[in-house]
Structure 1
Amino acid sequence: MLAGDLYDPSDAQLVGERREARRLVRDLNATTEDELDERADLVEALFGSTGAEPFVEPAFRCDYGYNLHVGDGFFANFDCVFLDVCRIEFGDRCMLGPGVHVYTATHPLDAAERARGPEYGKPVTVGDDVWVGGRAVLNPGVTVGDRAMVASGAVVTEDVPADAVVQGNPAEVVKRLD
């Protein structure tokens, strides 16, 4: 799975790992604004690695959690979804608007093979100082360069260069930042 090879999502070990992640996610989503220390502890328990002061607003969803790696000052607003069958990595000071979705999971193009149920994944990497606007989608295999901005509602299907603003579906560079 982590190598990007086809895998069986109904494998008992994977089902158990998703079940454990869902337990932690349920606990995270049940925290209140008066329980920020508990929320931070749950993020650290769920994610594969965190930098200093990660902040995740409920409600949050992910598949495994241990494939999520965030740098210092990571912030995810309400209703973010990370399908982390492969590594999802955010650099330092990344901020996500509400409802951002990051997908590493994908499926075979061949209909007969897809019907048999195997899946595979491609990692997503986001550099430092990146802003991803609300309801944007980062698709499997993309890299977003340092200091880039992904506009609200953008659907990122290809790599985003550093110091660029992208928008649209599919996302296109509309401005270069100095």
Structure 2
Amino acid sequence: MLKIIKNYFRARFKKILLEEIWLEDLVRTGMRIGDNCSIQPGVIFDYSHCWLIRIGDNVTIAPEAYLLAHDASTKMLNGWTKISSINIEDNVFIGARALIMPGVTIGKNTIVAAGSIVTKSIPENSVVAGNPARIISTLEEYKVKINKQFNDSTANVYDNNYTIKGNVSDNDKNEMYEQLKNKIGFVK
């Protein structure tokens, strides 16, 4: 139990010192972040050109995503590093370990799937995935698909007690795991 408590406080201390203060430093250096954004631990912003990064309102960036405003591969070719802005518009979700390259604008109401490499601008109301990222559907088509899955009578739906912040028991965790083998569920 003592080890769990120690690890909890170590993680919180690390988050406060390394993540939140660092994000504030980026903003002081010129990066812009809108209101109501959720930037998860481990997101990497191009510190050397962070003022070229603009993030709109209601944006979620999942863990270990990478926003890169420069491309130093050009330096060996002509002695110069290529740089460009990154613009993340309002109501965007960027999945874990996605890579956003220089010169990219991600339009409003867009989902970037985990692991995607975004090398070109994405129009609003899109869902993109892959390497390089390609549009796989409109946001509306994706919404219809997800709502159909959610409303399926066999879908497993869990309240917020089934999250790390909830009071989920070990028995409930095991039951949830078994219920979701090779199946999608939803949690509040």
- TM-score normalized with structure 2 length: 0.60
1:128 matched to 2:96? The reply is no
- The residue identity in structure 2 corresponding to 1:168 is G
- Separation in 2 of the partners of 1:35 and 1:142? 31
Corresponding position of 1:140: 102
SS in 1 for 2:12: coil
- Separation in 2 of the partners of 1:111 and 1:38? 36
Q: Is the 8 A contact 2:38 2:61 kept in 1?
A: yes
Q: Is the 8 A contact 2:113 2:127 kept in 1?
A: yes
Q: What is the deviation of 1:42?
A: 2.6
SS in 2 for 1:160: coil
Corresponding position of 2:57: 92
Corresponding position of 2:139: 177
Q: Is the 8 A contact 2:74 2:81 kept in 1?
A: no
Query: Cα RMSD over matched residues?
Result: 2.8
Percent of aligned positions that are identical: 23
Corresponding position of 2:116: 154
- CA deviations over 1:71-115 (Å, ceiling 9, x no partner): 01111112111114151111011001111000001136474424x
SS in 2 for 1:173: strand
- The residue identity in structure 2 corresponding to 1:89 is R
SS in 2 for 1:33: helix
Corresponding position of 1:46: 25
Q: Is the 8 A contact 2:53 2:87 kept in 1?
A: yes
- The residue identity in structure 1 corresponding to 2:101 is N
Structure 1 residues 112 and 157, CA, compared in 2 at 3 Å: closer, same or farther? closer
- The residue identity in structure 2 corresponding to 1:90 is I
- Separation in 1 of the partners of 2:91 and 2:105? 14
Greater Rg by CA? 2
In the TM superposition, structure 1's runs of 4+ consecutive aligned residues that sit over 4 Å from their partners are 34-41
Gaps of 5+ in 1: 1-30, 49-64
Q: Structure 1 or 2: larger helix share?
A: 2
SS in 2 for 1:47: helix
1:75 matched to 2:54? The reply is no
Corresponding position of 1:8: none
Higher RCO by CA contacts (8 Å cutoff, separation 6 or greater): 1
